[in-house]
Amino acid sequence: MSHEHRLIANNRAWAERIRAADPEFFQKLTRQQSPEFLWIGCADSRVPANEIVGLMPGELFVHRNVANVVVHTDLNCLSVIQYAVDVLGVKDIIVCGHYGCGGVIAALANSRQGLVDNWLRHVQDVMRRHEALLAPLPTEAERARRLCELNVIEQVVNVCQTTLVQSAWDRGQALTVRGWIYDIADGLLQDLSIRIGRGDDIGRAQRAALVATATATRREPR
């Protein structure tokens, strides 16, 4: 069986399993989606958003790009945030990075990969901003893990600073932005101690997360 046919066959079996559990499942989805969460994660194939949090179709609105970066001029990401917040009314935005992120490692090593290097400049900006936290770490592996965390914290702040989230908060909309990190090595998510809602001081939340994650044991490389 060719690769493509294997995927189609998998799809038939998957849809059959879902229908067996709930014959109305797909019919209900055609009428509406009402996800409570927006997930902003890395495009990495090892971090499938719905799967790692055990959510079904219709439960998670997803944006993924290389190294889970939120850029203020990225119309694609901003449109996803706007639609999720204004139209779907999601109450939680999760920025989820992951250890072992190829984009973060490439940014750290300043290695040449092609066009994507331009995108990864944003991660290098994070790296430069937090040089004082990265430089003392003894190994490249530890710096990579730390930069994965710092990148999430920074992108959470970027989400909070978008006009979209600011406007939602101004309107009194309940909306929380948080940062998590996923470990490919054990399949577990960790909370990065950053959770920002309406009325919270973004700078203070960021500083607290930087301190909390600096002392956490999860930073130890396996």
Number of residues that bind Co ion (CB under 5 A): 3
3-state secondary structure of 207: helix
Active site residues: 42, 44, 46, 98, 101
Residues 29-58 binding Co ion (CB under 5 A) are 42, 44
- Return left, alpha or beta for 100; rule: phi > 0 is left, psi -120 to 50 is alpha, else beta: left
Residues 83-102 binding Co ion (CB under 5 A) are 101
Cβ closer to Co ion: 42 or 69?
42
Under DSSP, the state recorded for 174 is: -
Residue 73 beta carbon to Co ion: minimum distance, rounded to whole angstroms = 21
Cβ closer to Co ion: 42 or 159?
42
Residue 167 beta carbon to Co ion: minimum distance, rounded to whole angstroms = 30
- For 176, phi and psi rounded to 5 degrees? -120, 140
d(CA 40, CA 97): 8
- Single out the residue of 20, 182, 28, 221 nearest to residue 101, CA to CA: 182
Residue 30 beta carbon to Co ion: minimum distance, rounded to whole angstroms = 33
Under DSSP, the state recorded for 189 is: E
Residue 208 beta carbon to Co ion: minimum distance, rounded to whole angstroms = 25
Residue 35 beta carbon to Co ion: minimum distance, rounded to whole angstroms = 22
d(CA 13, CA 165): 40
Cβ closer to Co ion: 101 or 147?
101
Strand segments (E) across 16-107: 37-42, 60-65, 92-98
Cβ closer to Co ion: 42 or 181?
42
Q: Is 149 a binder of Co ion (CB under 5 A)? A: no
Q: Are 42 and 101 in contact (CB under 8 A)?
A: yes
Angle at 185 between CA 106 and CA 109, to 5 degrees: 15
Cβ closer to Co ion: 44 or 149?
44
What residues line the site for Co ion (CB under 5 A)?
A: 42, 44, 101
